Each structure stands twice: as C-alpha cells, then as structure tokens.
Amino acid sequence: MNTFKTSWDKKELAAYILLYCANANYQEDPEEIELIRSKVDKADYKAIRKEFEADNDYQSIQKIEAAVDRLGYSKKEINVLISEMKTLFLSDGHYDETEKMLFLGLKKILKIS
C-alpha cells in the first residue's frame, strides 16, 4: 500500500509544487528553475527534485493534497502560493494551454484545506 504522507515544510511543498508546474509542458526553462531554487536551500532543492523525479503524476497530486491538508495553509498563504505558481508559468514568456489547465487544477487542490 502506498502512502502519500510527506514530512515537507511549507517551503519544501512550495518547491515541489513549482517543480510540478515547471514540468507541465515537459520542458523546464532556466528561468523556472532559478525561481524554484530561490525558494529553498541547495540541499532541500536536491532532495525535493530527486523525490519529484521518482514520482508519477498521480503520486505528485496525492502528495500535494496530503501536504496541503497537513500543513493547514491560511487563505493568505494559499494566495501567495497561487501567485508564485502564476509567476513561474509566466517566467519563460510562454503560458500554454497545458500550463493553464494544470494551474486551474492546482488552484482547486490548494483551496481544499
């Protein structure tokens, strides 16, 4: 049985979500990676990236949902995270349909807590 519990703190969850967003169109741009790396220290980035690369889409969504629920984000914190996602999507100068759909889905997940 798989468990989707994590021990992430809010910064690590933000980095994981932003990595997920950066991979929406299967192409990470340098601007996106730079933004993600600015959110956590180097060791945490490496650990989050390693975990992200080992997860499939279903596991990623389940982990994000579980962590958002566990961490008890305030409305203000959720809005900041949504703003960071939007900034990431726009950082490379392209905002395609895949990214828009992922953004809408993640906004729904973030509003569950």
In a domain, 70, yes or no: yes
Which pair of tokens denotes residue 59?
A: 């596991």
Helices then strands (H, E): number in the chain? 6, 0
Per the structure, how many domains does the chain have? 1
Measured torsion, CA atoms of residues 31, 61, 101, 23, in degrees rounded to the nearest 10: 30
Domain CATH number, residue 104: 1.10.3680
Structure confidence at residue 16 as a pLDDT band (50, 70, 90):
very high
Question: For residue 68, what are the domain limits?
Answer: 10-110
Q: Taking the model in full, what pTM does it have?
A: 0.87
User: Does residue 1 belong to any structural domain of this protein?
Assistant: no
**Cα 113 to Cα 77: distance, rounded to the nearest angstrom:** 11
- 81 found inside a domain: yes
Per-residue pLDDT tens over the stretch 60-96: 999 998 998 899 888 899 899 999 999 988 887 878 8
